[in-house]
Amino acid sequence: MSKARLMQGNEACVEGALAAGVRFFGGYPITPSTEIAEGMAKLLPTVGGKFVQMEDEIASMGVVLGASLAGKKAVTASSGPGISLKQELIGYAAAAEIPVVIVNVQRVGPSTGQPTAPSQGDVMQARWGTHGDHPMIALSPWSVREAFDTAVMAVNYSERFRTPVILLMDEIVGHLREKVELPEASAIEIYPRRKPTCSRAEGYQPFTPDKDLVPNTANFGEGYHIHVTGLIHDDTGFPIGSPKITREVTKRLHEKIDIARDEITHVEEYFMDDAEYAVVAFGGTARTAYEAVANARKKGIKVGMVRLITIWPFADKAIKKIAEKVKGILVAELNYGQLVGEVERVVAGKCPVELCAKYDMTIFEPAEIEAGIDELVAGGKA
Partner 1 sequence: MERSFEKYFRQNRLPHLWCPGCGNGIVMKAIVQAIEKKGLDQDKTVIVSGIGCSSRASGYMDFDTLHTAHGRAIPFATGIKLANPELNVIVITGDGDCTAIGGNHFIHGCRRNVDLTVVLFNNSIYGMTGGQASPMTPTHKKATTAPYGAIDRNFDACRLAEAAGATYVARSTAFHVQHLTDMIAGGIDNKGFSFIEAICQCPTSFGRKNKMADPAKMMMWMRDNAVMKAAWDKLPDDKKTEEKFPIGLFYNESETDYATAYNEVIQIAGGADK
Residue 259, phi then psi, degrees to nearest 5: -70, -15
List, in sequence order, every residue forming a beta bridge with 138; answer none if it has no partner: 166, 312
Question: How far is the CA of 244 from the CAs of 233, 241, 248, in angstroms?
Answer: 11, 9, 6
- Quick one: residue 227, left, alpha or beta (phi over 0 = left, psi -120 to 50 = alpha)? beta
Question: Can you tell me which of 28, 92, 142, 290 binds partner 1, judged by CB under 8 A?
Answer: 92
Question: Can you tell me which of 113, 115, 183, 230 binds partner 1, judged by CB under 8 A?
Answer: 230
Question: Does residue 55 touch partner 1 according to CB under 8 A?
Answer: yes
DSSP notation for 311-367:
EES--HHHHHHHHHH-SEEEEEESSSSSHHHHHHHHHTTSS-EEEEE--SSSPPPHH
The amino acid sitting at 260 is A
Question: Does residue 207 touch partner 1 according to CB under 8 A?
Answer: no
Question: How far is the CA of 202 from the CAs of 198, 213, 224, 248, 291, in angstroms?
Answer: 6, 20, 11, 24, 60
Cis peptide before 209 (omega within 30 of 0): no
Question: Can you tell me which of 179, 227, 299, 320 binds partner 1, judged by CB under 8 A?
Answer: 227
- What single-letter DSSP state applies at residue 305? E
The span of 19-27, 156-164, 187-195, 299-307 binding partner 1 (CB under 8 A) equals: 19-27
Question: Does residue 74 touch partner 1 according to CB under 8 A?
Answer: yes
List, in sequence order, every residue forming a beta bridge with 52; answer none if it has no partner: 26
Question: Can you tell me which of 13, 89, 168, 322 binds partner 1, judged by CB under 8 A?
Answer: 89
The span of 27-35, 86-94, 117-125, 246-254 binding partner 1 (CB under 8 A) equals: 86-94
The span of 149-157, 218-226, 244-252, 292-300 binding partner 1 (CB under 8 A) equals: 218-226
- What single-letter DSSP state applies at residue 247? H
- CA-CA-CA-CA dihedral for 236, 237, 243, 249, to nearest 10: 100
Question: How far is the CA of 233 from the CAs of 69, 228, 334, in angstroms?
Answer: 17, 9, 40
Number of residues that bind partner 1 (CB under 8 A): 48
What span, in angstroms and rounded, lies between the C-alpha atoms of 256 and 90?
17
**Cβ nearer to partner 1, comparing 40 with 369:** 40
**Among 313, 312, 288, 309, CA closest to 149:** 309
Question: Does residue 281 touch partner 1 according to CB under 8 A?
Answer: no
The span of 58-66, 258-266, 326-334, 337-345 binding partner 1 (CB under 8 A) equals: 58-66
What is the closest distance, in whole angstroms, from the C-beta atom of residue 62 to partner 1 in the complex? Answer: 3
**Cβ nearer to partner 1, comparing 6 with 70:** 70
Contact 334, 365 (CB under 8 A): no
The span of 77-85, 191-199, 220-228, 358-366 binding partner 1 (CB under 8 A) equals: 220-228
List, in sequence order, every residue forming a beta bridge with 139; answer none if it has no partner: 167, 310
Question: Does residue 192 touch partner 1 according to CB under 8 A?
Answer: no
Question: Can you tell me which of 31, 38, 66, 351 binds partner 1, judged by CB under 8 A?
Answer: 66
Question: Does residue 54 touch partner 1 according to CB under 8 A?
Answer: yes
Give the Cβ contact number of residue 53 at 10 Å.
15
What is the closest distance, in whole angstroms, from the C-beta atom of residue 73 to partner 1 in the complex? Answer: 10
Contact 217, 194 (CB under 8 A): yes
What is the closest distance, in whole angstroms, from the C-beta atom of residue 185 to partner 1 in the complex? Answer: 11
Question: Can you tell me which of 12, 19, 24, 118 binds partner 1, judged by CB under 8 A?
Answer: 24
Question: Does residue 46 touch partner 1 according to CB under 8 A?
Answer: yes
Question: Can you tell me which of 14, 19, 63, 281 binds partner 1, judged by CB under 8 A?
Answer: 63
Question: Does residue 22 touch partner 1 according to CB under 8 A?
Answer: no
Question: Does residue 223 touch partner 1 according to CB under 8 A?
Answer: yes
Contact 212, 264 (CB under 8 A): no
Residues numbered 302 to 331 that lie near partner 1 (CB under 8 A) are none
Q: Which residues are at the interface with partner 1 (CB under 8 A)?
A: 23-24, 26, 42, 44-50, 52, 54-56, 58-72, 74, 88-89, 92, 220-231, 238-239
